[in-house]
Amino acid sequence: MISRYVAYHGTPQGALSITGIPDAKTMFEPLVPGAHKVPNTNIYRAPIHGDDPVAFGRWAADQIEQAIIMEGPSSVAAVFLEPVQNSGGCFPPPPGYFDRVREICDTYDVLLVSDETICAFGRLGHTFACEKFGYVPDMITCAKGMTSGYSPIGACIMSDRLAEPFLKGTTYFPHGYTFGGHPVSSAVAMANLDVFDKEGLNQRVLDNESAFRATLEKLNDLPIVGDVRGDGYFYGIELVKDKATKETFNDDEAERLLRGFLSTALFDAGLVCRADDRGDPVIQLAPPLICGQEHFDEMERILREVLTEAWDRL
């Protein structure tokens, strides 16, 4: 299995193996063998091609090909990628990235799994985020957005090609779960998806995503803001000590900044968001899909006030 640095894919033994966050895994090791990591798409921290998104996207995708070749294509089952990587601070794919990844997976007969636990169901303005970036995965993993969190659910969606062996004869998938196919959560999901259609929530995100980005990008004038990145209604703001050099905070500084001040101060000011240091320190925003400009302005105002105070405290 191939996944990306700092990516989060879950905490069961197999999922934890492909999770790319060292601190999340240490206490549970040794884990399932055969999980290999490749660079993510954080162009702000790009080792090369940081000034050319197309070249960087090609380079990042080609690292997947190199990992497949190094391990031997016949031993590589799948590549697990989020459309926009959550952990680390909302890394969107560079132009052409997923086109190249799809080409690589087809060349070596490796499955492409789109982990859309975060990005599906309107977060990027589509039912599935792979639609937005123009690629067709072999499998999609998804969960909470299917019911908008009102009832627990998770799903794995697969192509006809993958499903075919299980649709005839006596072949079966030998994994079962106590609440698999639960009728209540399934009914909630269907009702929730009807609301998406009736209220046009996906289109609302597409209509307003540019305004959300533009409003957040106003924060670039703050000395503590290094990068504003993301897609749809899903954005990360990376915090730095020095904008010119992109110098980040050490572990103790990040702890004092994020948990010692920002998390509480932002919440007290009326903004529910994530202050995260699983990569470099970031603030992540995933607003309700009904939000509009008045809400974007309120978020920007709160962030500006709290981040200004955070800088003065450094």
User: H-helix or E-strand containing 139?
Assistant: strand 139-142
Q: Are residues 216 and 300 in the same domain?
A: yes
Average pLDDT of 96-107? 98
Planar angle of CA 35, 38, 254, nearest 5 degrees: 100
Tell me the two tokens of residue 301: 């105002």
pLDDT digits (tens, 9 = 90+) for 233-282: 999 999 999 999 999 999 899 999 999 999 999 999 999 999 988 889 99
**Residue 146 above 90 pLDDT?**
yes
Q: Are residues 236 and 121 in the same domain?
A: no
- Measured CA to CA, the distance from residue 299 to residue 270 in angstroms comes to 9
DSSP class of residue 93 equals: P
Average pLDDT of 280-307? 97
pLDDT digits (tens, 9 = 90+) for 39-67: 999 999 999 999 999 999 999 999 999 99
CATH of the domain at 206: 3.90.1150.10
Among the candidates 94, 115, 142, a domain finishes at: 142
**Residue 200 above 90 pLDDT?**
yes
Q: Are residues 137 and 220 in the same domain?
A: no
How much of the chain exceeds pLDDT 70, in percent?
100
Tell me the two tokens of residue 264: 């509480």
At 285 the three-state DSSP class reads strand
Asked whether residue 182 is assigned to any structural domain, the reply reads no
Single-letter amino acid code for the residue at 18: I
pLDDT at residue 284, rounded to an integer: 97
Q: Are residues 118 and 220 in the same domain?
A: no
Asked whether residue 186 is assigned to any structural domain, the reply reads no
pLDDT at residue 181, rounded to an integer: 87
- Residue numbers of the domain that contains 279: 201-313
* Contact criterion met (CB below 8 Å) for 54 and 96: yes
pLDDT at residue 277, rounded to an integer: 85
**Residue 176 above 90 pLDDT?**
no
Asked whether residue 157 is assigned to any structural domain, the reply reads no
Give Cβ neighbours of residue 19 (< 8 Å, ≥ 6 apart): 3, 7, 8, 9, 10, 11, 25
Q: Are residues 22 and 131 in the same domain?
A: yes
pLDDT at residue 91, rounded to an integer: 97
Q: Are residues 209 and 136 in the same domain?
A: no
Q: Are residues 123 and 31 in the same domain?
A: yes
* Contact criterion met (CB below 8 Å) for 228 and 235: yes
Q: Number of structural domains, the chain? A: 2
Q: Are residues 134 and 23 in the same domain?
A: yes
Q: Are residues 211 and 304 in the same domain?
A: yes
CATH of the domain at 47: 3.40.640.10
Among the candidates 115, 142, 169, a domain finishes at: 142
Q: Are residues 224 and 122 in the same domain?
A: no
Asked whether residue 164 is assigned to any structural domain, the reply reads no
**Residue 155 above 90 pLDDT?**
yes
Q: Are residues 9 and 136 in the same domain?
A: yes
pLDDT at residue 174, rounded to an integer: 84
Q: Are residues 210 and 131 in the same domain?
A: no
Asked whether residue 187 is assigned to any structural domain, the reply reads no
Q: Considering the chain, what is the average pLDDT of its residues?
A: 96
Asked whether residue 161 is assigned to any structural domain, the reply reads no
Asked whether residue 174 is assigned to any structural domain, the reply reads no
Average pLDDT of 169-187? 88
pLDDT digits (tens, 9 = 90+) for 180-197: 889 999 999 999 999 999
Asked whether residue 181 is assigned to any structural domain, the reply reads no
Single-letter amino acid code for the residue at 197: D
Q: How many CA atoms are closer than 13 Å to the CA of 262, on its beta-carbon side? A: 28
